[in-house]
Structures are given as C-alpha cells and as structure tokens.
Amino acid sequence: MVLIDAVHVLPSLYGHILIPPAVYRELTTPTAPEKVRLWFQDRPSWIEIRELSGAVGQDLADFLDAGESEAIQLAKELQADLLLIDELAGRKLAIENGLRVIGLIGVLATAAQKALIDPEIAIKQIERTNFYISEDLIEFLRSSSK
C-alpha cells in the first residue's frame, strides 16, 4: 500500500490495523523498499504492533515465513474480522483456519467502490512495483468503481 501511495485507504476502510512483530521487522529491515522503511519510521497511530499471546502453530511455521505465520496466528488469537494477506499459501492456510482474508486488490477494489482511489492510477502504480497482477485482477479492479 505504501509503494503505490494508497496506504491512506487503510484507516478509512478498516480503522485500526494490528500487525505482529514479524511483519513490522519485514517492513523495516534494510532489504525492505526504502519508501516502506521510511514510512514506518514515523508510522501513524492507527497501526499498532501487537505481540502474540502464544507461540505460532507448527502448522503455520512449517509452511510460511515468520510474517505470514504471525499474522495468521494473531488474527486467530484476536478472532479478527479480516486478515490482509496476499501470499497464496498464506491465504489458503488462513482460510483453512476459519479466517476471512482480503488481498491488496480486494482492498483497492473496496477503496475504488467508495471513491477513495482511482483504479487506473492504482493499476499504474502496481505495475511499477514487483507485485504481480493478472489481467483478470486488473479487470476486476477496473470494474469495481463502476
């Protein structure tokens, strides 16, 4: 969301966002995109880093990286309304664990429906990153604001 200049939609759509420590570490590590690292240096109050109350389940740790594992574990612990996750294996495991999931394109589509973003601008911004977006998802995003 930071890389495509659309992070402003998150508090408008979802209010308060919780992230586990591993996600925060991934977003602030020296290998993360500079724009993301700089944004997180002064993160807004609507993003809270929340510790897990228990260990990550082995069923998650065996198949996912630390960020996805902790995000799913935290969502399970809190009985979260929604989990933002794009990685396919993570989405599958989250759904198997009874969680509702949404990805970047789903968030952008929701934002477009509420006239918070222009989908054409969002598509152009996504295409400038290394995020893969299929033609079907591009069409879905375009149609979301109609």
Q: What is the CATH number of the domain that holds 40?
A: 3.40.50.1010
Q: Decide: helix, strand or coil at residue 113.
A: helix
Query: What pLDDT, on the 0 to 100 scale, is given for residue 116?
Result: 95
Provide the pLDDT for residue 131.
Answer: 85
The total number of structural domains that make up the chain:
1
How many whole angstroms separate alpha carbon 121 and alpha carbon 45?
Answer: 27
Q: Does residue 109 sit within a domain?
A: no
Which residues on adjacent β-strands are paired with residue 19? 49
Tell me if 113 is assigned to some domain.
no
Q: What pLDDT was estimated at residue 58?
A: 87
Amino acid identity of residue 80, one-letter, is A
Q: Which alpha helices (DSSP H) does the chain contain, by range?
A: 9-14, 21-28, 34-41, 58-61, 66-78, 88-96, 104-113, 119-127, 135-143
Query: What span, in angstroms and rounded, lies between the C-alpha atoms of 118 and 7?
Result: 13
Q: Is residue 53 part of a domain?
A: yes
Residue 90: give the domain boundaries: 15-103
Task: Find, among 113, 105, 116, 114, the residue nearest to 140 by Cα.
Answer: 105
Beta strand 47-49 pairing with 17-19: parallel
Classify residue 94: in a domain, yes or no: yes
Residue 27 Cα distances to 20, 38, 136, angstroms: 11, 10, 28
Q: Per-residue pLDDT for the chain (146 aa), expressed as one digit of tens each?
A: 999 999 999 999 999 999 999 999 999 999 999 999 999 988 999 999 999 998 898 888 889 999 999 999 999 999 999 999 988 999 999 999 999 999 999 999 999 999 999 999 999 999 999 888 889 999 999 998 77
Q: Coil, strand or helix: which one is 90?
A: helix
Give the predicted TM-score (pTM) of the model. 0.90
Tell whether 9 is covered by a domain: no
